[in-house]
Amino acid sequence: MKRILLSVAALAGAAAFFAFSNAPIAEAAQAQGDVARGQAAFERIGCWACHGHQGQGGSTGPKIAPNPLAFPAFSGFVRTTSGEMPPFTARVLPDQDLRDIHAFLMSVPAAPAVATIPLLQ
Amino acid sequence: MSKPEAKKVDRRKFLAGVAVVGAAAVTADSARAAVLPNGQIAPVAPSALRPSTLMAQVDNGVHAPPAALGTHAGLTQGRPGSDYMLDVIKSLNIDYVVTNPASSCRGLHDSIVTYGDNKKPELITAMHEESATAMAHGYFKASGKPMIALCHGTVGLQHAAMAVYNAWCDRAPVIMMIGNSLDATQRRPGVPTTHSVQDPGSLIRDFTKWDDQPTSLGHFGESMVRAYRIALTPPYEPVLIVMDEDLQEKGFAADAFPVIPKFVMPTAAAGDPNGVREAARMLVAAENPVIVADRAARSQNGVNLLVQLAELLQATVIDQGGRMNFPNLHPLYARGGGPIATADVVLGLELTDFFGTVNNFTDSAEVTQGPRVKPGTKLISIGMGDVYIRANYQDFQRYQPVDIAIGADAEATLPMLVEYVKAEITAARRAVIDKRGQAAAAAFANSADRMRTDAAGGAWNATPISTARLSAELWAAIKNEDWALVARDQSVSFWPHRMWNFSKYHQYIGHSGGAGVGYGLPAAVGGALAHKANGRLAVNIQPDGDCMYAPGALWTAAHHNIPLLTVMHNNRAYHQETMHLQRMATWRERRVDRWKIGTTIENPNMNFAKLAESMGVVGIGPIENPNDLAPALKRALEVVKSGEPVLVDVVAQPR
């Protein structure tokens, strides 16, 4: 059963890769993302629970913003991961929501430089 | 009136006994030092600071008994048995008894506050037996001295049970005492009988080291002293003494109190020299040894010994944080468990979970697991886990095969291991070891830089306030004080252990042990009570969900003027559970927006500052803007320095 699941995950990953390896289509999909809707989805489905409200990461999940993965890699991971993070399929997270979430993560401003923060010196 | 029991106290004989026992203790220590390798007399490391009862035992012998009582049948005829019980407790140099008042303990309660004048031990009022037990738990870890948690029989012990389990898993010698009425013909009908039980110890026997229900004063004296000794023989664990109500309350002839049994502090079991020598050879021969410590250090001496061993080997140390084992700014301190993957020898010191240390386990729809270490990695275990174990509760974790298993106390074994390691290091190995140390120092420096970058990039200016910002602002406020963190920092992503400077044993007390929620606040109050004696600033980073299990601990802090700086990590959720719910929904491809139901603490939002103020604790906040944190903490520091508890409510990121 485990082997079958891994195969399915691999196929899904491959499918995601091929689906988004077409650059123009991927760019168009990303362009359709809406920051406000993405932030709302990020909060609604609880991505922030592991990754923080700004995607900054913590002990429960890695940093995913600012500068998130490019959308193809981002989408491929979200759809097919089988690790501690459960896979979010299109049944529970529609493609548009995923694009919106990515747009929100892209909008997170860059962190202040360490040198500008006295508490971190 | 009862018949006289045993012999009365003869102070001269008692003092002579104390002296003999003291001499025996010194002799025992000397003998242990002589066992070190190859016939050498190795320097004896200073002993861990252990609570001493000698002066208390001497002092206890000079109390004059009060005047005879019982001038008519409606009064206690003679000296109440609970006075003797208090004498025994005093002989053990117990500073505090924490209780939620209970009729089954009324005899001893009265003796403490009248006969004992509420001094050594002083009564601390808790608002729940679970809190009382957690306070005793936290107090021990901060002071090294046991505290008594005095609870009602049956229902009180039922309340306390989870906290006892925490103490058991965390190896904390909480002294549980409860009242119970054995004689059905003497106990009051109704509720007191409902609250009586044949075998109260059975309720927590799976996670206590020993219990007894004495039926005479002489029996009580022996069992109380035995319980104390058992609890303080590593591995430290909770014990239970049941006080019969009738025995507490009935009167005894003035000369009927038995002699208080003498006590000497037990020593810990050190490892078999052959096994320790073999471990030393393996460690010295290793190319990349890694030391993992969980509850290895029981005192500052344990920290010093671990530093000595790590530096001799230039081995990275992964401190799992069951206690303060290793300074976090030492170049050999590992920020995270990564070094396990490249180790060729792993030395585990008092690990709760060796299996989980060297294996991956993924909580996915179909569990995946496998080794985290390289094939062929040698494993050495030093700890009391195999020596002292119970079958029912699974806190012993999964079985992990190892190459050398030394069933002994780690701190007691470290002096011998250090000497054997010294003896094994040749000039050629010294060169390899030194080179390894240089690489470790470089890696540590890089990790420090990464910490700063991560903190800045961790939503530094965001609302809700990031846990990195919370930790940095708090560190700035306390770093020039004599501080101690009386809480775990897991909920704030371990930022204090990445940013602060933990160098002393007392600066960190680890975690609950059993992960039973409701430990945090009362344990912090107990820790703060211990630090109060040294004028030390106790700091608590308090998760919101845990706080609401036992908020009454705030009242205890206010009532007893226990200075404690509590900073709420208010993420408005039982946060861990939110993630579990998401996992369930995604695995099942169901609605992933339903996870808030049953897992969040909002609508309405808690106002912890008002909660604190309702119990007499100064409340500040809620603080939602990170720029408001520094002034809030400054004000809080002023309050706590005045000797009072204070709470700052910080609305923060989830982790």
Query: Is residue A12's pLDDT more than 60?
Result: no
Sheet holding B537-543, edge to edge: B483-485, B537-543, B565-570, B646-651, B618-623
Residues B384 and B490 in one domain: no
Q: Chain A closest CA to B601's CA: distance in Å?
A: 14
Residue B383 corresponds to which tokens in the numbers above?
A: 């700890």
Q: CA-to-CA distance for B601 and B192, rounded, in angstroms?
A: 38
Domain housing B243: 11-252
Say if the Cβ atoms of A86 and B655 lie within 8 Å: no
> Is residue A105 a part of any domain in this protein?
yes
Contacting residues of A for B364, CB less than 8 Å apart: 82-84, 86
Examine the fold and report which residue of B191, B218, B252 is the final residue of a domain before the chain moves on: B252
> Is residue B316 a part of any domain in this protein?
yes
> Is residue A42 a part of any domain in this protein?
yes
Burial B104-114 (b: 16+ CB within 10 A, else e): bbebbbbbbee
Which residue is closest to B475 within chain A, CA to CA?
A: A119
> Is residue A79 a part of any domain in this protein?
yes
> Is residue A74 a part of any domain in this protein?
yes
> Is residue B3 a part of any domain in this protein?
no
Cβ contacts of residue B312 below 8 Å, gap of 6+? Answer: B418, B421, B422, B425, B433
pLDDT for residue B8: 45
Say if the Cβ atoms of A45 and B593 lie within 8 Å: yes
Q: Which residues of A touch B (CB under 8 A)?
A: 1-2, 5, 44-46, 48-50, 52-54, 56-60, 63, 66, 82-84, 86-89, 91-93, 111-114, 117, 119-120
pLDDT for residue B231: 98
pLDDT digits (tens, 9 = 90+) for A88-97: 999 999 999 9
Say if the Cβ atoms of B467 and A58 lie within 8 Å: yes
Question: Residue A41 sits in a domain of what CATH number?
Answer: 1.10.760
> Is residue A63 a part of any domain in this protein?
yes
Say if the Cβ atoms of A84 and B458 lie within 8 Å: no
Examine the fold and report which residue of B404, B438, B472 is the final residue of a domain before the chain moves on: B438
Examine the fold and report which residue of B373, B407, B438 is the final residue of a domain before the chain moves on: B438
Q: CA-to-CA distance for B344 and B267, rounded, in angstroms?
A: 33
Say if the Cβ atoms of A56 and B589 lie within 8 Å: no
Domain housing A26: 2-109
Say if the Cβ atoms of B578 and A49 lie within 8 Å: yes
pLDDT for residue B388: 87
Residues B393 and B282 in one domain: yes
> Is residue B464 a part of any domain in this protein?
yes
Residues B433 and B465 in one domain: no
Question: Residue B606 sits in a domain of what CATH number?
Answer: 3.40.50.970
Q: What are the two backbone dihedrals, phi and then psi, of residue B437, each rounded to the nearest 5 degrees? A: -65, -40
Say if the Cβ atoms of A120 and B593 lie within 8 Å: no
Q: CA-to-CA distance for B374 and B340, rounded, in angstroms?
A: 9
Sheet holding B345-349, edge to edge: B316-319, B289-293, B345-349, B378-383, B404-407
Residues B248 and B278 in one domain: no
Q: Chain A closest CA to B357's CA: distance in Å?
A: 17
Say if the Cβ atoms of A1 and B366 lie within 8 Å: yes
Q: CA-to-CA distance for B536 and B486, rounded, in angstroms?
A: 11
Cβ contacts of residue B610 below 8 Å, gap of 6+? Answer: B619
Of B457, B490, B575, the CB nearest to A56: B457
> Is residue B42 a part of any domain in this protein?
yes
Q: Chain A closest CA to B611's CA: distance in Å?
A: 26
CB B231 within 8 A of CB B239: yes
Say if the Cβ atoms of A49 and B575 lie within 8 Å: yes
pLDDT for residue B366: 81
pLDDT digits (tens, 9 = 90+) for A34-90: 999 999 999 999 999 999 999 999 888 999 999 999 999 999 999 999 888 999 999
- H-type alpha helices, B34-80: 54-60
Q: CA-to-CA distance for B518 and B546, rounded, in angstroms?
A: 5
Residues B286 and B392 in one domain: yes
Which residue is closest to B577 within chain A, CA to CA?
A: A49
Q: Chain B closest CA to A24's CA: distance in Å?
A: 30
Q: CA-to-CA distance for A81 and B162, rounded, in angstroms?
A: 37
Residues B466 and B383 in one domain: no
pLDDT for residue B50: 59
ipTM confidence score? 0.81
Say if the Cβ atoms of B579 and A88 lie within 8 Å: no
Q: Chain A closest CA to B328's CA: distance in Å?
A: 17
pLDDT for residue A8: 37
Residues B317 and B288 in one domain: yes
Q: How far is CA B491 from the centre of its chain?
A: 18
**Which residue's entry shows tokens 């990953």?**
A13
Question: Residue B427 sits in a domain of what CATH number?
Answer: 3.40.50.1220
Q: Chain A closest CA to B464's CA: distance in Å?
A: 8
> Is residue B263 a part of any domain in this protein?
no
Q: Using omega within 30 degrees of 0 as the cis cutoff, is the peptide bond preceding B631 cis?
A: no
Contacting residues of A for B598, CB less than 8 Å apart: none
Cα three-residue angle B101-B105-B107, rounded to 5 degrees = 115
Residue B424 corresponds to which tokens in the numbers above?
A: 């094994």
> Is residue A61 a part of any domain in this protein?
yes
pLDDT for residue B60: 60
Scan residues 470-499 of B and list those with Cβ closer than 8 Å to A.
Answer: 472-473, 475-476, 490, 493-494
Say if the Cβ atoms of A88 and B490 lie within 8 Å: no
Burial B416-431 (b: 16+ CB within 10 A, else e): bbbbbbebbbeeeeee
Inform me whether the C-beta atom of residue B458 falls under 8 Å from chain A C-beta atoms: yes
Low-confidence ranges of chain B (pLDDT < 50): 1-36, 42-48
Indicate which of A42, A48, A77, A92 best probes the interface with B, i.e. most B CBs within 10 Å of its own CB: A92
Please give, one letter per residue, the 3-state secondary structure of chain A.
Answer: CHHHHHHHHHHHHHHHHHHHCCHHHHHHHHHCCCHHHHHHHHHHCCCHHHHCCCCCCECCECCCCCCCCCHHHHHHHHHHCCCCCCCCCCCCCCHHHHHHHHHHHHHCCCCCCHHHCHHHC
Sheet holding B96-99, edge to edge: B122-125, B96-99, B148-151, B175-180, B239-244, B210-212
pLDDT for residue A23: 46
Residues B61 and B160 in one domain: yes
Of A60, A84, A117, the CB nearest to B456: A117
Residues B410 and B535 in one domain: no
> Is residue B265 a part of any domain in this protein?
no
Q: Chain B closest CA to A77's CA: distance in Å?
A: 14
Q: Which residues pair with B539 in a beta bridge?
A: B485, B565
Contacting residues of A for B462, CB less than 8 Å apart: 53-54, 56
> Is residue B450 a part of any domain in this protein?
no
Of B460, B582, B586, the CB nearest to A117: B460
Say if the Cβ atoms of A89 and B583 lie within 8 Å: no
Residues B213 and B287 in one domain: no
CB pairs under 8 A between A and B: 118
Which residue is closest to B494 within chain A, CA to CA?
A: A59
CA distances from B254 to B16, B111, B114 (A): 23, 16, 17
**Which residue's entry shows tokens 């993560």?**
A105
Tally of domains within chain A = 1
Cβ contacts of residue B412 below 8 Å, gap of 6+? Answer: B234, B267, B268, B269, B270, B271
Residue B143 corresponds to which tokens in the numbers above?
A: 């002071």
Residues B150 and B277 in one domain: no
Q: CA-to-CA distance for B229 and B51, rounded, in angstroms?
A: 11
> Is residue A119 a part of any domain in this protein?
no
Phi-psi region of B300 (alpha: psi -120 to 50; beta: other; left: phi over 0): alpha
Say if the Cβ atoms of B490 and A59 lie within 8 Å: yes
Phi-psi region of B52 (alpha: psi -120 to 50; beta: other; left: phi over 0): beta
Of A46, A88, A120, the CB nearest to B595: A46
Contacting residues of A for B365, CB less than 8 Å apart: 5, 82, 86
Say if the Cβ atoms of B654 and A49 lie within 8 Å: yes
Tell me the pTM: 0.89
Say if the Cβ atoms of B457 and A63 lie within 8 Å: yes
Q: Using omega within 30 degrees of 0 as the cis cutoff, is the peptide bond preceding B551 cis?
A: no
Q: What are the two backbone dihedrals, phi and then psi, of residue B570, each rounded to the nearest 5 degrees? A: -95, 90
Mean pLDDT in chain B? 91
Cβ contacts of residue A2 below 8 Å, gap of 6+? Answer: B366, B368
Tally of domains within chain B = 3
> Is residue A117 a part of any domain in this protein?
no
